A and B are shown apart, each in its own frame.
Chain A
Amino acid sequence: MKIAKYPFAVLVAALLTVALTTPISSFANIIWLSSMNLPVNFFSSLEIILFDFQRLGIILYGIIIIEFAIAFSLAGLARKYVFDTKYLYPIAGAVITGLTLFLLVEFTTQTEILSGNRTLIGKVLHCFAGFAGGYLFYFLISKDRELSFIIRTLGTIYAYLILGLVLNWIFTPIIAASDFGFVFNELSSNAQNALLRDFSAFFVATFLFSILGVITLNSAWFFSAGIVYTCAGIFNLIAIYIYGTDFNQIFIGEFFLGIFPIALGTIISYQKKKAKV
């Protein structure tokens, strides 16, 4: 497992950086909304922070994984051949985060994608988030890791993916419905109720299953989430080909969300069986 820990350490470190980065934009927004005398309270702040962590964060996550993979590889080489200090990874994380945010603006739309990065203090805080990610990476690679580390990492990422759907259905069902092709306000009241009730329960339940799987490493939780999404994919195809509904590609995502936790559950079961033998 010595080799495998590096990429998974990058995934975990990047997720920490996302978790530290997105609240910078959230708080910049909350402060401005408060200054406009809008009724910002605990729940509306939580809504902003959680949504930003998931929706904004998921885009950043991909970017940060790539930047960390490059920066930590270079830092690893420097550590091996130039000088060995535990602060090399944190410094690499801070520098690459600041550089990436700068280049994102300069070479894309020339507009600031992260509202929290408009001020100097925001830029410093983003670099600090990269520093923290680098430090976590160093911590994670500094000793051997078990298979459970990988399963927990992947399970957490899986839950992170589903979190967006959970938040959407709880806080902004109109936008969530539009993502699924519904114009919410054009549905009857009963249809709205059914949609809100069933979709929210569906996503909240599978999110909880995956979190419980991560905490307990009990394969049944992962299997439960996987079975639900696999069934959704199967019934999506039945709806298209037997009941004649419009073709959609959502079944691809459903099968992915189904197979992913089933694979995790299978690995856990296999490991437990092996341990018994």
Chain B
Amino acid sequence: MSFFVNLIFANYQFETIASNLDDAWSFDFLNENQIIFTEQPGKIKIVTISSGEILNVEGAPKVQYASQGGLSEIVLDPDFKKNNILYLTYSALNESGKSTLFLMSAELSNNSLINKKVIFEANAFRRVPIHLGAKIDFLPDGTLLLTSGDGFDYKEQAQSLNNHFGKIIRLNKDGSVPSDNPFVDIPNALPEIFSYGHRNMQGLVVMEDGRIFEHEHGPRGGDEFNLIEPGKNYGWPAITYGIDYSGAVISPFTKMDGMEQPLKYWVPSIAPSDMIYYDGDLYPELKNSFLVTALKSRDVKQIKKINSLFSEESIFSNLKSRLRSIGISPSGEMYLLTDGRKGKLLKVTITEI
């Protein structure tokens, strides 16, 4: 199969736009020629694609860069061209010195962040910043979704509605809670919660029709690709296809009434790190499929729905890099971010054979 796949993608090339990136985590497109990206130690930078020039953005929030934490997601507001607003997620200590996940909105002006507002602080305090989730996407109604991971040591809390461990959060852009959130009227449940029973969710895609797809890291085995619906319980850690890193059983159960099954799961783990839905025309072989970057399998998984099943193919494995993020530019070109202290931003090009 790999021989066949290599033939199909033989004309795909990777052009390095920027290199020596320091734990770059996420990126978005300011325009056709500029990409804004985060580095986990707490830096925001802008790279000009045509020249490779990199500028620092001033005013990044103070983060807790440790373990898996630091500055994570950066996403432009859907109306960025009008309002210059962007959203950031990061781990930091709150006023009481407790570590948790934060969501900030800010305005980008002359390569500086101004009007910074912390619009959400997760009620998910942890000893070390680990399993944060930290992905953002926007629903068609203008609200935003944020993934908040289970904090590793607090995995059982993913089944309780009185905290933000292992939850997908839905907020208005100002941080207020939408009145139609599924748990707003439930006593003792936090009103921001949209769905629960998640682990460490680093892939989130909202389709044009409003359907929400998410993927999350499993432990040893059990990475999941899910269709997210409001108010649903996705089972972690009560049901799982994985086992603990230590080898211990997390749960002998994989199914349970009232808990959702994944559309697809991976055993062994691929460590999925980001996801897009590609519906452009520039890469015809990839059209109408989900593209999931993977850290452990060091490739991109192309997931296509065929009849009622989701098939998967490994692509770009020739990069042999832990892949952190993926994105599509306004003109439809694909970019990949590699993981680690000497990361690269790559542009996927097609050459004539």
Q: A33-B238, A178-B221 are in contact. Are A110 and B248 (CB under 8 A)?
A: no
A37-53: CB near B (< 8 Å → 1, else 0) gives 01100001001100110
Per the bound structure, the CA–CA distance linking A174 and B152 in Å amounts to: 24
Residue pair B238, A29 in contact (C-beta under 8 Å): no
In the complex the two chains form, is B249's CB within 8 Å of A26's CB?
A: yes
**B250 contact set on A, CB distance < 8 A:** 29
A146 interface residue (CB < 8 Å to B): no
A39→B259 CA distance, assembly (Å): 14
- Give the Cβ gap from A263 to chain B, nearest Cβ, in Å: 27
Tell me if A59 and B247 are in contact (CB < 8 A).
Answer: yes
User: Is B260's CB within 8 Å of the partner chain A?
Assistant: no
Q: Taking the complex as formed, is B246 at the interface, i.e. its CB lies under 8 A from any CB of chain A?
A: yes
A165 to chain B, nearest CB (A): 13
Pairwise interchain contact A29-B246, C-beta atoms closer than 8 A:
no
Q: Are B248 and A175 in contact (CB under 8 A)?
A: no
Q: Does B127 contact A (CB under 8 A)?
A: yes
Instruction: Please tell me if B130 contacts chain A, counting CB pairs below 8 Å.
Output: yes
Q: Are A111 and B152 in contact (CB under 8 A)?
A: yes
A220 to B130, CA, bound (A): 52
Q: Which residues of A contact B239 (CB under 8 A)?
A: 38
For residue B243, CB closer than 8 A to chain A, the reply is yes
| Closest Cβ–Cβ distance, residue B235 to chain A (whole Å) | 10
Shortest distance from the beta carbon of A107 to any chain B beta carbon, whole Å: 13
Q: Which of A7-15, A112-120, A125-133, A193-201 contacts B (4 or more CB under 8 A)?
A: A112-120
Contact B247 A171 (CB under 8 A): no
- Report Cα–Cα, A39/B159, bound state, in Å: 16
Kindly state whether residue A79 has any CB partner on chain B within 8 Å: no
B interface majority secondary structure: loop
Given A109-B67, A111-B130, CB of A175 within 8 Å of CB of B249? no
A52 touches B130 (CB 8 A): no
* B301 vs chain A, min Cβ distance (A): 13
Q: Which of A29, A111, A118 contacts B248 (CB 8 A)?
A: A29
A145 CB-CB contact with B under 8 Å: no
**Beta-carbon contacts under 8 Å, B256-278 to A:** 256, 267-268
B253 engages A55 (CB within 8 Å): no
Known: A109-B67, A111-B128, A111-B130. A48 touches B249 (CB 8 A): yes
A58 within 8 A of B: yes
A241 at the interface (CB under 8 A from B): no
Whether B251 sits at the interface, judged by CB under 8 Å, is yes
Contacts of B153 in A (CB 8 A): 111-112, 118
Query: Is A115 within 8 A of B221, CB to CB?
Result: no
Contacts of A111 in B (CB 8 A): 127-128, 130, 152-153
Contact of A114 among B152, B159, B221, B246 (CB under 8 A): B246
Sorting the interface of chain A by its residue count into under 10, 10 to 19, 20 to 34 or 35 or more gives 20 to 34
B238 touches A175 (CB 8 A): no
Q: Answer yes or no: B156 CB below 8 A from chain A CBs.
A: yes
**CB-based contact B248/A51 at 8 Å:** yes
Contact pick for A175, options B130, B221, B246, CB 8 Å = B221
CB A122 to nearest CB in B, in angstroms, measures 13
Residues of chain A within 8 A of B246, CB atoms compared: 55-56, 59, 113-114
Residues of B within 8 A of A175 (CB): 221, 243, 267
Known: A38-B238, A111-B130, A175-B267. A33 touches B248 (CB 8 A): no
Q: Which residues of A contact B159 (CB under 8 A)?
A: 36
A97 within 8 A of B: no
Q: Which residues of B contact A172 (CB under 8 A)?
A: 243
> Would you call B252 an interface residue if the criterion is a C-beta within 8 Å of the partner chain's C-beta atoms?
yes
Which residues of chain B are within 8 angstroms of A230 by Cβ–Cβ distance? none
CB of A247 within 8 A of chain B? no
Contact pattern, B 141-185, Cβ under 8 Å of A = 1, otherwise 0: 000000000001100100100000000000000000000000000
A32 at the interface (CB under 8 A from B): yes
Contact yes or no, A171 B252, CB < 8 A: yes
| Distance between A37 CB and nearest chain B CB, rounded to angstroms | 9
B128, B221, B243, B248, most chain A CB atoms within 10 A = B248
Instruction: Give the shortest distance, in Å, between B3 (CB) and chain A (any CB).
Output: 14
Would you call B248 and A52 a contact (CB within 8 A)?
yes
Q: Does A17 contact B (CB under 8 A)?
A: no
Bound Cα distance from A56 to B130, whole angstroms: 22
**Cβ A32 vs Cβ B156 within 8 A:** yes
Provide the bound-state CA to CA distance between A113 and B267, in Å: 21
Q: Contacts A44-B253, A110-B67, A110-B127 known; A115 to B267 CB distance under 8 Å?
A: no
Q: Which residues of A contact B267 (CB under 8 A)?
A: 174-175, 178
Which residues of B have CB within 8 Å of A44?
252-253
Which residues of B are found within 8 Å of A110, using beta-carbon distances?
67, 127-128
Further 4 A-B residue pairs, CB within 8 A, beyond A54-B247, A56-B246, A110-B128:
A29-B250, A44-B253, A59-B247, A111-B128
A-B contact pairs, 28 of them (CB 8 A): A22-B248, A29-B249, A33-B238, A33-B251, A36-B159, A36-B238, A38-B251, A39-B253, A44-B252, A47-B249, A47-B252, A51-B248, A52-B247, A55-B243, A55-B246, A55-B248, A56-B244, A56-B247, A59-B246, A111-B153, A112-B153, A113-B246, A114-B246, A115-B244, A172-B243, A175-B221, A175-B267, A178-B267
Nearest 8 interchain pairs by C-beta: A55-B247, A56-B248, A48-B249, A110-B128, A44-B252, A56-B247, A178-B268, A51-B249
Which A residues have a C-beta under 8 Å from some C-beta of B?
22, 25-26, 29, 32-33, 36, 38-39, 44, 47-48, 51-52, 54-56, 58-59, 109-115, 118, 171-172, 174-175, 178
